A and B are shown apart, each in its own frame.
Chain A
Amino acid sequence: MNFDIYKIREDFPILSQQVNGKPLVYFDNGATAQKPKAVIDAEVKYYSEINANIHRGVHHLSQVATDAYEEARLKVQKHINAPNSFEILFTSGTTFGINLVANGFGQMLKPGDEVIVSHLEHHSNIVPWQFACERSGAVLKVIPMLQDGTLDMEAYDALLSERTRIVAVNHISNALGTINPVKSMIEKAHKVGAAVLIDGAQAVPHLKPDVQDLDCDFYVFSGHKICGPTGTGVLYGKEKWLNQLPPYQGGGEMIKEVTFEKTTYACLPHKFEAGTPNIAGGIVLGVAIDYLNAVGFDNIAAYERELLDYATERLSSLEGIEFYGTAGEKASVISFNFKGLHPYDVGAIIDKLGIAVRTGHHCAQPIMNFYGIPGTIRASFSFYNTKEEIDRMIEALKKAQQMLS
C-alpha cells in the first residue's frame, strides 16, 4: 500500500491551521491525536441521521443506532483480536477503565495482598491502585526504572510472589516512549497466579495489540489518542475476570431486575455500561479504527520510525541537549531538555513559532523525580507529521536557546 504523507495530511483539516501567524507543527500527539475528516463527518452524520438511544427502544432509529453501536464493538473486538465481543466494554477513556478494574480489585483484595505497578506509569495507572490498596489493606509495590528509561526486569522477577494479585503496567510509556516487554511480563505474572492490566493508551496509536497473543487479563485504551473522539475508550477484560469484578457504576442498562429489596445485574458487557453511553463516540471510534487500518499499521510503524530517527539525529546536534528515555525499543516519542534551561521557557517560546510540544511532568511525576528534574520537553510524532516539521522545530529550538542564554 502506498503511503503518501501529503495526501494523508489533507485528510486532517486542523493541520492547515496557523498558530501565532505560523503554520501549526503539532507534536503533541501523546496528549491527543488529530482527527481525519472521515471521523469528523461521521460524528456529524450520526447526529444528523441516526441519533437515538440504544438498547432501549423498539422504534426504527433506536434499532439503527443500536446496530451501529454494536457494529463498532465488533470492530474493536476484531482490531485487538479479543475472543468475544462481550469482553469489549466501551468507556469514557483509559482512566475510567483503570478505575473500573482497580475499584473492583479494591473490593476483592485482602490485607497482605500485593499490587505491582511500575515507576514508568502515568498517574492514571498509579492513583486508582493507591485507592484500591488503601481501601483493602493491600500493599503497593513498584518495579524500579533504570537510567535509560526501561524497567528493571530482575527487580520485577524479585517482586513477583504468590501474594501478587495484579500487575498494572503500560505497554508504551507516555513520557519516554519506552516499549515494555509486556508479553513476557504477563507470562511471569501468570506463573504466580497474578492478573495483568495493560495500559495501552500510548500503544494503540502506534501498533495493533493482539490481546490473545499477549494473554493479558485487561487491556485499556482511549479513543482520542487513535484519531477518535474525546470521551471514548475501551476496556477489554477476560470473561472470567469481568464476571468476578463487581459492577462499578449503578443505574439503567446494567440491571436485569430492579426492586427495592434486591436488584440483579445484566450480563456482559452491559453490566459495566450504566446509563446512556457516548453513543456517537463509540460509533465514531469504530470509524477511526477503520481509518487507521486503511492507512495500515505497518506503514505507520515504518514511517514513525523514520521520523523518530530523523528527529533524534537532528536534536543530537543541538548544544546542551539531554535525552531521557533511550531504550532500544521505543515509540516515536522524544523527551529532552537543554542543559540549564527550564522546559517551560523553551516550550513557551517555540509555541510562538507555531510548534506544539508538551512540557512538564506529563502526568508521570515519579519519572521526573527519578531524573531529578521538574519536567521535560516532549515531542510525540504521529503518521501525519513530516520531516519538514521536524526541521522547523529544530530552528525554533535554536531560537529559544538564543533568547534564553
Chain B
Amino acid sequence: MFDDWMERYEYIIELGKSLPLIEDQYKKEENLIKGCQSQVWLHAEKQNGKIIFTADSDAILTKGIIAILIRTFSNQDPAEVMNADTSFVDEIGLKEHLSPTRANGLVSMIKQIKLYAIALQAN
C-alpha cells in the first residue's frame, strides 16, 4: 500500500485518532498487554454475538497499530477472529513490527485478541 515510510506512519498516526477508546473503568493492570514498551490496554465484550474491542495506549504509533487491528477484528464472530490469518500485517508494511523485540507489542496484541476470542466463544 505505502512505499514511503513517512506516509505509512502518518496514516498509522491518523488511524490512532479514531481508535474506539476503552472506558476508564477497564483501564486496569489486568487489561494491559504485556510485551509492549508503551502501555496498551485492550478490552473485549460480546454484543449481539459479535466481539467488540476497545483500547488505548500512551504512545501514538501504538494507538495506530492497535486501531488497525481493531478495525480488522472488531465486530466479527469470535470464531472468525480465532482463526484469522494475520498475513495482512505484512502486506500493509508493518512487517518490522512483527519482530520479537520488546519494543513493540504487535505479536502480543494479536495473541491477546485471539485469546479474548477463544474466551468469548466459550461463553
B38→A374 contact, CB < 8 A? yes
B10 within 8 A of A: yes
A360→B37 contact, CB < 8 A? yes
Please give the distance in Å from B1's CB to the nearest CB on chain A: 16
Residues from chain B with a CB closer than 8 A to the CB of A20 are: 5
Interface residues of A in 362-405 (CB under 8 A from B): 374-375, 403-404
The size bracket of the interface on A is 10 to 19
B39→A374 contact, CB < 8 A? yes
B13 within 8 A of A: yes
A342→B38 contact, CB < 8 A? yes
Number of interface residues of B (CB under 8 A): 16
With A403-B10, A403-B13 known to touch, is A359 a contact of B60 (CB < 8 Å)?
no
Residues from chain B with a CB closer than 8 A to the CB of A349 are: 9, 61
> Measured between alpha carbons, how far is A254 from B104 in the docked complex, in Å?
43
Please give the distance in Å from B72's CB to the nearest CB on chain A: 21
With A342-B60, A344-B59, A344-B61 known to touch, is A375 a contact of B37 (CB < 8 Å)?
yes
> Measured between alpha carbons, how far is A370 from B62 in the docked complex, in Å?
24
A345→B60 contact, CB < 8 A? yes
> Measured between alpha carbons, how far is A347 from B13 in the docked complex, in Å?
15
> Measured between alpha carbons, how far is A349 from B61 in the docked complex, in Å?
9
A352 within 8 A of B: yes
Residues from chain A with a CB closer than 8 A to the CB of B13 are: 403-404
Interface residues of A in 328-351 (CB under 8 A from B): 341-342, 344-345, 347-349
> Measured between alpha carbons, how far is A374 from B59 in the docked complex, in Å?
10
Residues from chain B with a CB closer than 8 A to the CB of A347 are: 103
A344→B9 contact, CB < 8 A? no
B122 within 8 A of A: no
B6→A403 contact, CB < 8 A? yes
Residues from chain A with a CB closer than 8 A to the CB of B29 are: none
B6→A345 contact, CB < 8 A? no
Interface residues of B in 52-87 (CB under 8 A from A): 58-62
- Chain A residue nearest to B102 in the complex (CB): A360
B59→A345 contact, CB < 8 A? yes
Residues from chain B with a CB closer than 8 A to the CB of A375 are: 37
Residues from chain A with a CB closer than 8 A to the CB of B61 are: 344-345, 348-349
- Chain B residue nearest to A404 in the complex (CB): B60
Please give the distance in Å from B53's CB to the nearest CB on chain A: 21
A342→B59 contact, CB < 8 A? yes
Residues from chain A with a CB closer than 8 A to the CB of B60 are: 341-342, 345, 404
Please give the distance in Å from A19's CB to the nearest CB on chain B: 12
Interface residues of B, Cβ cutoff 8 Å to A: 5-6, 9-10, 13, 37-39, 58-62, 102-104
Interface residues of A, Cβ cutoff 8 Å to B: 20, 341-342, 344-345, 347-349, 352, 359-360, 374-375, 403-404
A-B contact pairs, 27 of them (CB 8 A): A20-B5, A342-B58, A342-B59, A342-B60, A344-B37, A344-B59, A344-B61, A344-B62, A344-B103, A345-B38, A345-B59, A345-B60, A345-B61, A348-B9, A348-B61, A348-B103, A349-B9, A349-B61, A352-B5, A352-B6, A352-B9, A359-B37, A360-B37, A374-B37, A374-B39, A403-B9, A404-B13
